Structure 1
């Protein structure tokens, strides 16, 4: 588990570490500088490269000066530029500067013309201008400096966060450094994982700077991510078992002559390890589903005047009470029969429920459907569906992913999987997971149906619902990353994601 902190969180933790635990700020700065310097020095051709460190006057600049000193002592060709006035130095930055002066370090204050030449000469630029405390738009010489660096197309390493990104929201404060690599100090920052900040960070690596674990306990919000899938996140497999040992998933999906979503969701559940998949779908889909997914049990229904026939509804109710989890909504349509299915499922079902796609569109028009539900519910909207659920413009949803997901969870007592490039998962108890796996090749029809099946498969095998939600999103993203290796971004389809689920989970 990897923590994600806001800029304010990080300041509190730093202060707690220094004031309560007595670890001096300069010690933390030295640890940070060592970690960043190591990342610079592991570059393959660093012995032939020129490094330029661009420093501000705050503690991020102090980190940069310390990095420069360490690189100098390791015979790296390095120069340092300070943007700002000596009188604006923080206490720690002033100390780092004084050390370098005594060492006759190659350090100068910013001048436009000479800076342009220094940037052009450099192979690697380290951004140490602003840190996580930045809250105002960048203007003046700082804007000019960032424009020059970005225009150079040189390899840029940002210390903690690219200068210009709001550490609390990921927003660009006027202009920002476009880094090739970001070295996060101690923990991920929220602005690194939310867009557009995530794009400006590029590759992110977290380094330890010596903050004790106890210092994190002052933080209220539990925001986290996972960088890899571990065995303890997966369902247990027993040597002596049968298909009943690994749960049953009921997939209520598809509409007349539209069977693809049911197929993808059902197959994904099987590939996640579930023992049995039961699909409820219109009669028109029977033949194709039986041929494409013969492992599944198929129950179909027909219509009478636009409504599901009563005897078929009774069969569906029996199915609802004979499974461990229900996935409802993929390709379901928003017709009256689909609405009836959803209402009856919530009314009669006692097991966890995953509502996706058209199930969410039905709720958007009939919000009372979620009132007083008894079973755990996971909803999996994309921003467009969330916009309809919350009666908010899509851009507001995109700008406030965490807040809107949390609102949905608290207002309706559901786990919310708000799908985006970095999907946000929230619970009614205010746990927040942000997913960092996956890629833009997964922006393809059916990928959401696959996700609902993966989460359903995990819940059926006994994984607690919130854990199943974030683990399912992680597996889904990692499978997409595997698919990218063979199919690339352009050629990936939903079935490629499914085919790589076993590889990710083995």
Structure 2
């Protein structure tokens, strides 16, 4: 999905509304419904039994989205209340319409037009578990002042103990640049309306953005098509993107028709890496998962995962499985001479798509060009340190321009490059870069990348093209990470929690 500039999306919406005036209320209703659905989803995943939701609204259309959301939330047995950071007289159009409906339904609200009306910058005792931010929208520029600034400070204080969901953009973020001139809401989740905004493609905004999702507000297709690209060369991986990628299972499907992924690696020093990669692979939809690994890993996998075919005879001369439709190498591999010889052999002889992760990238020893000789598609999944080593750069340089260096690696290797970390980038030579914006800092834990490698290999093995498989894998992995964090907190979650949450992530995009 393309990113768009704020002025361009506003113009498209205004033109559509001029042609069909009732569309204003219809689109706001869709936005409110989408917000309410996300609040409901978050509440269920986090096991929250307290049904209170406080919606903090401003005078613009974002505030109207919150009024519509409050109506929807009450319909599904939440207890919403609205805090209004402006006078009621400032509400206009569709926002006024939904506010009047809110009043008709006796949903409680408070008009808080003075800075003194807002509590001090400290966590409120007995605060609701979820807050929704709709103070400022895409038209806001400059540093927030007065009551709006005070309300932002209040929301950020509550974020210590409550979850914050921002509508469209976090209040205080410049929708075009991602920068914040002053105070900005630090959201856990942002639900953007229609297209993602150009500033969301910029690293400057990622700390405030949280995990990004979108709501289809039913902007007419003709109007949407005319909106110019606000971030040329970058595309966002949305829920809809992944839904279109995942294959539908045929009625007569059997395990042999659904692919076979072969995982190879797992040294005696890192026996758990193959366990986690196998966990990711078995939850990908692939028909068969086979693992060739060191004896220590083989025993652990065989004991934990009876559905996996395990061979404990890994060596550099290990015979590749002729039935494999994708191969994943690297988790726990090590960097000894035997590992180097093994990777060199695979790059010459593999007969199926190949995922190189972790040590399998490290043993390339700064020679990205050797990957080009591989007769099959290759996907590299480096973290910033591994990419820095591959390209002869330092990590700070990589992080300063992730898109540039991901594309540089793709051009030098001829591979699809998945640069992991906040704002995961998927690059292919000559193509737009795909950007993933879900997930959370709790995923920065040992083994998280192993789960991703196995999941990606399983998707590749089903015949999904490499870029599409990478997009689906990183989105599913990120969504599973968000679900794990809601269930266990970011601090206490681990890589196994991500793997266990993968079925729930699939349920977001697949019905069977």
TM-score (structure 2 length as normaliser): 0.70
- Residue-by-residue CA offset, 1:283-321 (whole Å, 9 max, x unaligned): 66555555555632416255xxxxx5xxxx2xx3x4165
Task: Work out whether residues 273 and 457 of structure 1, in 8 Å CA contact, stay in contact via their aligned partners in 2.
Answer: yes
Of 21, 39, 45, the residue aligned with 2:69 is 39
Distance (whole Å) between structure 2 residues aligned to residue 229 and residue 53 of structure 1: 38
1:474 alignment partner in structure 2: 475
Q: Deviations over 1:254-298 (max 9, x none)?
A: 224432212322343233233333333346655555555563241
Alignment match, 1:150: 152
- Alpha-carbon distance change, 119 to 206 in structure 1, aligned in 2, over 3 angstroms: farther
Q: Where in structure 2 are the equivalents of 1:195-234 lying within 5 Å?
A: 197-201=205-209, 206=214, 211-217=219-225, 218-219=228-229, 221=233, 223-227=235-239, 233-234=245-246
Q: 1:347 to 1:444 in 2, by over 3 A?
A: same
Match in the other structure for 1:325 = 326
Change (3 A) 1:389 1:147: farther
Superposition map of 1:433-448 within 5 A: 433-448=434-449
Q: Distance between the aligned counterparts of 1:206 and 1:287, measured in 2?
A: 44
1:349 corresponds to which residue? 350
Distance 2:188 2:302 in 1: 49
2:184 maps to 176
User: 1:458 and 1:366, CA in 2 relative to 1: closer, same or farther beyond 3 A?
Assistant: same
Change in Cα spacing, 1:365 to 1:161, as seen in structure 2 (3 Å) is same
Give the drift of 1:325: 1.1
Task: Classify the secondary structure of the residue corresponding to 2:320.
Answer: helix
Match of residue 7 from structure 2? 11
Are 2:328 and 2:454, in contact at CA under 8 Å, matched by a contact in 1? Answer: yes
Deviation per CA, 1:241-264: give whole Å up to 9, x if none.
554322222222122443221232
In 2 relative to 1, CA 412–485 (structure 1 residues): closer, same or farther, beyond 3 Å? same
Aligned CA distance change for structure 1 residues 292 and 66 (closer, same or farther; 3 Å): same
Q: Cα distance 1:54–1:412, how it changes in 2: closer, same or farther (>3 A)?
A: farther
2:340 corresponds to: 339
For residues 46 and 455 of structure 1, the distance between their equivalents in structure 2, rounded to whole angstroms, comes to 41
CA distance in 2, matches of 1:69, 1:14: 19
Change beyond 3 A, Cα 1:131–1:396: farther
Bigger Rg over Cα? 1
Q: Which residue of 2 aligns with 1:116?
A: 115
| 8 Å CA contact retained: 2:414, 2:429 | yes
Could you tell me which runs of 5 or more consecutive residues in structure 1 were left unpaired when the two chains were aligned.
56-61, 82-114, 303-307
Contact 2:214 2:238 in 1 (8 A): no
* Match runs of 1:400-415 below 5 Å: 400-415=401-416
Alignment partners' CA distance in 2, 1:11 and 1:399: 28
Match for 2:283 among 271, 284, 287? Answer: 271
Q: Distance in 2 between matches of 1:474 and 1:200?
A: 19
- CA deviations 1:53-93 (Å, max 9, x no partner) are 499xxxxxx9x755664456447567697xxxxxxxxxxxx
Aligned length: 442
Gap change, CA 1:249 and 1:201, over 3 Å in 2: closer
Matches within 5 A, 1:449-468: 449-468=450-469
CA deviation profile, 1:35-64 (whole Å, cap 9, x unmatched): 454235556599975412499xxxxxx9x7
Change in CA separation of 1:157 and 1:127 when aligned onto 2, cut-off 3 Å? farther
The CA distance in 1 between the partners of 2:241 and 2:215, in whole Å, is 20
Unaligned runs of 5+ in 2: 29-60, 104-108, 121-130, 159-163, 507-511
Partner residue in 1 for 2:363: 362
